[in-house]
């Protein structure tokens, strides 16, 4: 099958077709092979369209909206720079993430610092740069008091609150439970009174932040968390007799459909629900900040890996590939919460046909549970074939798990064209063995005995 045949059959501008073109082109151009048996691919066109969809969904006349990208979802400078060109800022949660955002050219005015464990040095830097800071707890707010020492500050400062509205289907992704480690727990005894007093004592405290969680949290629960923050802002402003809280940071957390290419729920679905449940959010009295991550990137990325061996055990076929826990950590360790679609591809990177067989798709890590798919019906995979792990544009590339000292794979951005050609641009070079050795202390003097 030629590239042109693919475009003529399905229309080159569809996301699935752009992906097919890129998978074949990556194999043909040697981006994956014996020397580089696993690589990451990002659809640059898809990323731009996701950003446009976000802007369009929330756009409201008279409402100032800052969309930031959660850097932890794709901590890759070229990706952050592309999102910056698409009008997004950055939500950061560590000194490293802040450094990445600054390297990508994200301005301080479009950056939000949200870490739950900010040091004095981190706070001092953020305040000096004019980065928005969401304080996580009373002790952190007291630290900020000390750093300001009664003087003026150009940085917007807010408080993160936990509305305690409940959790979703994945406990580890739910941040608005009764015992979440994030923010000030509003329903705890005395917490609400403390928040009101904290704002009354600090006329410069002008933001309020909440985030209910991500994958597995339903839209209605997300909206309930935003409503709780909005009602609290109204109460703070009423007590102040003025518009003290001027910006509501509603976080991110839009879940992703990992079952098909369909984008559901969409940014429009969520924005429309917020307009119905929290209409005052869009009446122009408040600026808005969002912090989406996975929903912007997940469907625009694919992990492509070579099948090294095909074997069987106990009557079960097993395809041993180079994509395992080192790139798909969450999927391997909690497969029920993070299942991935797997495409079976032939040696040239085309979709493989033939009768399907139940088989496991294993990774290269030296432990028995390193499986990205178990008992999956797929065209029979053989040595020299390839597998593609879909919807892996967020977290799977930038959160490498260095088990067995497996090096970080390369990441490439691609652009597919109407004539069936595909251009690739490097996002991250593959980690070399000398780099891996240096990271593991090989250049340091040996330890002395006794």
pLDDT at 151: 72
Q: For residue 113, which of 96, 138, 86, 134 has the smallest C-alpha distance?
A: 134
Please indicate, yes or no, whether residues 286 and 312 belong to a single structural domain of this protein. no
Specify if 450 maps to a domain. Answer: no
Residue 57 phi, psi (nearest 5): -65, -40
User: Do residue 313 and residue 392 come from a single domain?
Assistant: yes
Closest CA to 163 of 217, 118, 90, 92: 217
pLDDT of res. 11: 54
Full domain range(s) for residue 236: 61-292
Whole-number pLDDT of residue 12: 54
- CATH of residue 184's domain is 3.20.20.10
What is the C-alpha to C-alpha distance for residues 340 and 258, in angstroms, rounded to an integer?
Answer: 6
% helix / strand / coil in the chain, to the nearest 5?
35, 25, 40
If asked whether residues 138 and 279 sit together in one domain, one would say yes
Task: Out of 248, 269, 292, pick the residue that ends a domain.
Answer: 292
Does residue 237 share a domain with residue 190? yes
Tens of pLDDT along 266-295?
A: 999 999 999 999 999 999 999 999 999 999
88 and 233 inside one domain: yes
Judgement on whether residues 18 and 163 belong to the same structural domain of the protein: no
Give the whole-angstrom CA distance, residue 281 versus residue 367: 50
In a domain, 49, yes or no: no
Together in a domain, 386 and 429: yes
Which residues of the chain, if any, have pLDDT below 50? 1-10
Q: What number of other Cβ atoms are within 10 A of residue 172's Cβ?
A: 13
Q: What is the pLDDT of residues 187-223, one digit of tens each?
A: 999 999 999 999 999 999 999 999 998 888 999 999 9
The CATH number for 352's domain is: 2.40.37.10
Q: How many CA atoms, within 13 angstroms, populate the side-chain half-sphere of residue 239? A: 18
Last residue of a domain, one of 238, 259, 292: 292
Q: What is the tally of structural domains in the chain?
A: 2
Cα(133)–Cα(140) distance, rounded to whole angstroms?
A: 11
Both 72 and 179 in a single domain? yes
Last residue of a domain, one of 239, 274, 292: 292
CA dihedral of residues 274, 280, 286, 288 (deg, nearest 10): 0
Do 181 and 39 fall within a single domain?
no
Q: Are 283 and 351 within one domain? A: no
With respect to residue 444, please indicate whether it lies within any of the assigned structural domains: no
* CA of residue 327 relative to chain centroid, distance: 14
The total of other beta-carbon atoms located within 10 Å of residue 351's CB is 15
Same domain, 138 and 256: yes
Answer whether residue 53 is part of any domain. Answer: no
Residues 6+ apart with CB under 8 A from 250: 210, 211, 226, 229, 274, 281, 288, 289, 290
Please check whether residues 313 and 332 belong to one and the same domain.
yes
In a domain, 447, yes or no: no
Tokens 């048996």 appear where?
37
Q: Is residue 303 part of a domain?
A: yes
> Could you tell me if residue 48 is inside a domain?
no
Classify the C-alpha dihedral 343-4-35-398 as positive or negative. Answer: negative
The answer as to whether 448 is a domain residue is: no
């Amino acid at each position: 099958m030629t590239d042109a045949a693919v475009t003529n059959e399905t229309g080159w501008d569809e996301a699935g077709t752009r992906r097919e073109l890129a998978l074949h082109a990556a194999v043909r151009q040697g981006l994956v092979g014996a020397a580089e048996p696993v690589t990451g691919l990002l659809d640059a066109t898809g990323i731009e369209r996701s950003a446009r969809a976000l802007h369009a969904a929330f756009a409201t006349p008279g409402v100032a909206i800052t969309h930031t990208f959660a850097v932890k979802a794709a901590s890759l400078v070229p990706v952050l720079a592309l999102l910056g060109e698409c009008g997004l800022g950055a939500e950061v949660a560590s000194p490293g993430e802040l450094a990445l955002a600054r390297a990508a050219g994200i301005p301080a005015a479009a950056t939000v610092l949200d870490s739950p464990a900010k040091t004095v040095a981190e706070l001092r830097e953020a305040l000096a740069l004019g980065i928005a800071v969401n304080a996580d707890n009373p002790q952190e707010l007291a630290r900020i008091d000390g750093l300001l020492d009664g003087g003026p500050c150009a940085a917007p400062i807010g408080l993160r609150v936990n509305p305690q509205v409940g959790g979703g289907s994945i406990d580890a992704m739910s941040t608005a439970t009764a015992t979440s480690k994030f923010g000030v727990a509003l329903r705890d005894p005395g917490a609400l009174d403390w928040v009101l007093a904290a704002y009354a004592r600090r006329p410069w405290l002008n933001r309020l932040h909440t985030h209910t969680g991500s994958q597995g949290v339903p839209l209605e629960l997300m909206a309930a968390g935003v409503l709780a923050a909005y009602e609290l802002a109204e109460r703070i402003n009423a007590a102040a007799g003025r518009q003290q809280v001027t910006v509501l940071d509603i976080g991110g957390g839009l879940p992703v459909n990992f079952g098909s290419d369909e984008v559901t729920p969409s940014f429009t679905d969520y924005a429309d629900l917020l307009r119905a449940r929290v209409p005052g959010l869009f009446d122009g009295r408040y600026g808005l900040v969002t912090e989406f991550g996975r929903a912007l990137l997940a469907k625009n990325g694919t992990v492509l890996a070579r099948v090294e061996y095909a074997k069987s055990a106990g009557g079960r076929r097993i395809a041993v590939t180079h994509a395992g826990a080192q790139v798909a950590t969450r999927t391997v360790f909690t497969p029920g919460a993070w299942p991935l679609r797997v495409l079976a591809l032939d040696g040239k990177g085309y979709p493989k046909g033939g009768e399907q067989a139940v088989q496991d798709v294993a990774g290269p890590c030296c432990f028995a549970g390193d499986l990205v798919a178990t008992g999956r019906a797929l065209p029979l995979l053989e040595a020299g074939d390839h597998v593609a792990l879909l919807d892996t544009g967020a977290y799977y590339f930038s959160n490498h798990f260095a088990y067995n000292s497996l090096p970080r794979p390369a990441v490439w951005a691609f652009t597919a064209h109407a004539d069936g050609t595909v251009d690739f641009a490097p996002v991250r070079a593959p980690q070399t063995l000398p780099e891996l050795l240096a990271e593991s202390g090989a250049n340091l003097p040996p330890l002395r005995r006794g």
